[in-house]
Amino acid sequence: DPANFNITMPAGAPAASGLPFINIGNALGFGGPTGEPQGRGDTTVVLNDGLSWLRGRHTFAFGGEIRRAYNNNIAFNIGSFTFNQTGSVANNNLKTAMQNFLSDSASAFIVQLGSGNDRILQPSYDLFAEDSFKWKSNFTINLGLRYAWNSSPSEAANHFTQFDPTAGTLVPASQPYHTNSKNFQPRIGFAWDPFKNGKTSVRAAYAILTQDPTTNIVVGLSSNPPFAIPISISSGVIKVEDPSASLATSSLGPAAINRNFNDMYAQDWNLTIERQLTPSIGLSVAYVGMKGTHLQLAQNINQPLVTNGIYGSTRPFPTLPDTSPILPSQCTAPHPACTFANINQVNSNGNSNYNALWVTLNKHFSHGLQFLSSYTYSKSLDYNSLSTGETYIIQNAYNLRGDYGPSEFDVRHRFVLSGFYQLPFRRNRLVAGWEVGTVIQAQTGNPLNPTLVIQPGGISLTVRPDVTGPIRVTGDPLQWFADKTAFRSPCVGATCHPGGLSRDAVTGPNFVNTDFSVIKNTKLTERFNLQFRGEMFDIFNHPNFGNPVLTTTSGTFGQIQGTRFPTGDFGSARQIQFALKLKF
């Protein structure tokens, strides 16, 4: 109960649901989680059928599917307090985020008054046709076409409202965006044995794959006024003990979806050459590419306007007009509660690119040895690597291209080797039946995205810093960056601009891990076998560090405060286990 911590939540907030999330400088957090409690019930009715037809050298396949998905939700938001660094050294009033926390002075407060409830229906209809044509004895062609009609989610009880940027108002939206009806998905591929001896194969394929729209992007619309009131306060000093005192300066932060939202789709292509080197060893070299289009992306369409590269203090949609079809009960213009805060609209203007070289060398079991090995050299670029596109917000809503960079999951180099070897000892039960195995993984680090919070015109924005010199990493967990001063705030006094550092321009720690096992199989009788296993995970106890603190204004910026995996998980430190099994 927040009251146990001397926190008095505003009327309508789910105070009995737990402590609000406390965020201290984006480096320390407890309480929460935000967006809770919530409940969800899903029912999906599926009817499908397929037909196969063999005719000469053709193998035809036809089919279809009808799917009706029902989704019921209830959602609260217990709220969050954010404590940021304030003041400056020059003005002799610098206070760290922790000092503001200890003095009960929050920089931002977000909460939802009331609950969001919805009943969502989403039907879809799919048809497909495919032909596998054996053109020659050593050449097969696959052709296919799939069509998907995916209805946009609709709400049965008219509990959806959203922000309309054309009129700047809140409007009913039982069906938030148009239904996409052009989801044609062709596929083509071939397999070729150029020497007709079964030892070499060349395969290639191309396909367009459409993803069904998810209900996750619309459930927030039932938490808009008048059903619930999302409150956002980001100006002045907010006292945690009584944030209600700051409600007079609160603003609405409604959820929104672009009316022209499109289904996301991916174009996939690949070319693979495989060769049998020996009766038990095979080599495969492949190029794999993918381009994602219409990916979900969240943009703050109410970000302060940027003029000549400088953030202003004027928002495109400052207030909710009296003419709005939906007007929250406490909004009696020009009451301050009718001002708008950030409006994070889900769009479908994201793109991604992935290109990779895959090399695998595998050996089937023979002469007591078997192994699988692979090396990947790849590069992935996008605007936003998160699954829903609703959490990461573009730094500058007016320059989408500025956030195009390496994906958060991008790994430039990755090598994996796994295998086992049965030792060739056969003299007696003591020396026979031994085998050793290993799994080795090594990969480069993931991209990092340093950020800080600025407040142009009293409006909080999360941006990337400017860079004053080359960024060098030390490999030292005590300080990952050789020169922290290379990262500089994009603000001079009260004048701020979007940060100059490109997204995900820095790379985090590498990952190297070796597991090793020793196994002894002893045949006791015809029916009974005894197996002893000794398994060592991370046998060399190689430290695999997590990412450093990435908030440039934090006193711990650049410090690594933990391992890549939590202590106790495989990959965090050396772990040894033994097992004895009796098989019969």
**Per-residue H/E/C for 129-186:** EEEEEEEECCEEEEEEEEEEEECCCEECCCCCEEEECCCCEEEECCCCCCCEEEEEEE
Joined tokens for residue 155: 């709400």
- What is d(CA 427, CA 430) in angstroms, rounded to the nearest whole number? 8
What does the pLDDT look like over 244-275, one tens digit per residue?
665 655 678 888 999 999 999 999 999 999 99
Give the residue from 283, 423, 471 showing the smallest Cα distance to 362: 283
Contact 327, 269 (CB under 8 A): no
> Which residue ranges in the chain fall short of pLDDT 70?
1-17, 35, 88-90, 234-236, 241-250, 329-337, 386-392, 567-568, 570-571
- What is d(CA 37, CA 39) in angstroms, rounded to the nearest whole number? 7
- What is d(CA 352, CA 358) in angstroms, rounded to the nearest whole number? 19
**Residue 389 pLDDT:** 42
Contact 505, 487 (CB under 8 A): no
> Beta strands of 193-261 (E only): which ranges?
200-210, 229-233, 251-252, 256-257
Contact 340, 204 (CB under 8 A): no
**Residue 430 pLDDT:** 83
**Residue 10 pLDDT:** 63
Give the residue from 342, 397, 145 showing the smallest Cα distance to 232: 342
What does the pLDDT look like over 55-101, one tens digit per residue?
999 999 999 999 999 888 777 777 888 888 887 666 777 788 888 88
- What is d(CA 418, CA 362) in angstroms, rounded to the nearest whole number? 10
Give the domain ranges of the chain. Answer: 1-37+76-113+227-250
